[in-house]
Amino acid sequence: MKGTVGELGEFGLIRELTAGLPRTSAVELGPGDDAAVVAAPDQRVVATTDVLVEGRHFRRDWSTAYDVGRKSAAQNLADVVAMGAVPTALLLGLVLPADLPATWAVELMDGIRDECHVAGAAVVGGDVTRGDAITVAITALGDLAGAAPVTRSGARPGDVVAVTGWLGWSAAGHAVLSRGFRSPRAFVEAHRRPEPPYHAGPAAAKLGATAMTDVSDGLVADLGHVAEASGVRIDLRGADFDVPAQMADIGQAVGVDPLRWVLSGGEDHALVATFPADAKLPARWRVVGEVLALAGGRAEVTVDGVRWDAPGGWDHFATE
């Protein structure tokens, strides 16, 4: 495809973006009308939204359009499964500069479509407008299939804390890219394209998870929200976290303790959940800590009993 999105025009662009979009059985009416119609078998709808902005969430010299698409969708779909729900549909608001190559927009859409496919959802609508910074605003919907939502507020003293998915890989990749390098590839790829363990969300609900969240900002920060919402203290055991040798090498090379990436690095979208101590967890869940009563203390996350004194994760108004 030749030209810019400006040359294609609003409706030419929409035609290109929506051509051949796959449907799923949940989609009664897809893009093309004033609104889409999505089945909600449960009769409750799980809904979540996240905005990604060029320069803040991604850089065009670090990630392809396809990568940005995969990541934007993943970030939202991970929030759906973190409730214990199955993703059904995704809506996409796009702000694009007029001089952006049309292929960039189409490849972004390819990435969004493919990530939706991985999670079982479909793109059902969106919006496009012109603006200075590329902005991808996504709303994802999901279905609980009769289950109770797994909230942030259900952790109880005596529960275990378990994680599944990657931790620290995206942050290590970000550290590499920030210093002008493009390798080790596995970490750079993890930053470009997170792989949330989608199936594990609804599975955790079935395993009796009492609370759950995805790790978008950093494990300590995101678990901090669980601790606060549940009115508990959460203690992590440092030795239960695996720091891969290659991650340790990067840490050595750039002068960062790699445990910092594991405990406070965001964007891998691992799932962290609390479970009753007697829950039978499959091997892909690693127990990394426990839930403790407040006993007059603060609702916070500690590591080996000690308050984590570095930032627990990303904060858009505090982190540069």
Ligand X SMILES: Cc1ncc(C[n+]2csc(CCOP(=O)(O)OP(=O)(O)O)c2C)c(N)n1
Ligand Y SMILES: Nc1ncnc2c1ncn2[C@@H]1O[C@H](COP(=O)(O)OP(=O)(O)O)[C@@H](O)[C@H]1O
Residue 58 touches which of ligand Y, Mg ion, ligand X, none (Cβ within 5-8 Å per kind): ligand X
Q: Terminus-to-terminus CA distance in the chain, angstroms?
A: 36
Binding to ligand X (CB under 6 A): which residues in 210-229? Answer: 216-217
Element (H, E) at 138: strand 135-143
Q: Binding residue for ligand X (CB under 6 A) from 202, 266, 289, 312?
A: 266
Say whether residue 267 binds ligand X (CB under 6 A): yes
Binding to ligand Y (CB under 6 A): which residues in 58-87? Answer: 79
User: Quick one: 107 or 115, whose CB is closer to ligand Y?
Assistant: 115
Structure tokens at 107: 């490849």
Say whether residue 50 binds ligand X (CB under 6 A): yes
How many Cβ atoms from other residues are within 10 Å of residue 255's Cβ?
A: 7
Spatial contact of 91 and 48, defined as CB atoms under 8 Å apart: no
Residue 99 assigned as binding residue: no
Rounded distance between C-alpha atoms, residue 167 and residue 116, angstroms: 22
Phi, psi of 63 (to 5 degrees): -130, 145
- List, as one string, the DSSP characters of 169-199: HHHHHHHHHHTT---SHHHHHHHHS----TT
Residue 57 touches which of Mg ion, ligand Y, ligand X, none (Cβ within 5-8 Å per kind): ligand X
Binding to Mg ion (CB under 5 A): which residues in 68-87? Answer: 79
The 3-state DSSP class for residue 163 equals strand
User: Quick one: 113 or 193, whose CB is closer to ligand X?
Assistant: 193
The 3-state DSSP class for residue 91 equals strand
x/- track of binding to ligand X for residues 53-82 (CB under 6 A): --xxxxx---------------x-------
Burial (Cβ within 10 Å: 0-12, 13-18, ≥19) of residue 189: middle
Spatial contact of 24 and 88, defined as CB atoms under 8 Å apart: yes
User: Quick one: 113 or 174, whose CB is closer to ligand X?
Assistant: 174
Residue 113 assigned as binding residue: no
User: Quick one: 79 or 107, whose CB is closer to ligand Y?
Assistant: 79
The 3-state DSSP class for residue 36 equals coil
User: Quick one: 88 or 216, whose CB is closer to ligand Y?
Assistant: 216
Residue 267 assigned as binding residue: yes
Phi, psi of 58 (to 5 degrees): -160, 160
Stretch near Mg ion under the rule CB under 5 A, chosen from 49-57, 111-119, 236-244, 281-289: 49-57
Rounded distance between C-alpha atoms, residue 223 and residue 216, angstroms: 11
Element (H, E) at 283: none
Strand order in the sheet with 86-96: 46-53, 135-143, 86-96, 122-130
Residue 174 touches which of ligand X, ligand Y, Mg ion, none (Cβ within 5-8 Å per kind): ligand X
Smallest gap from residue 35 Cβ to ligand Y (A) = 21
Residue 152 touches which of Mg ion, ligand X, ligand Y, none (Cβ within 5-8 Å per kind): none
- Taking each helix axis from N to C end, the angle separating 245-254 and 169-178, rounded to the nearest 10 degrees, works out to 30
x/- track of binding to ligand Y for residues 27-56 (CB under 6 A): -----------------------x------
Residue 192 touches which of ligand Y, Mg ion, ligand X, none (Cβ within 5-8 Å per kind): none
Smallest gap from residue 119 Cβ to ligand X (A) = 15
Residues within the interface to Mg ion (CB under 5 A): 50, 79, 214, 216-217
Q: What are the residues binding ligand Y (CB under 6 A)?
A: 50, 79, 216
Name the residues that contact ligand X, by CB under 6 A.
Answer: 50, 55-59, 75, 174, 216-217, 266-267, 314, 316
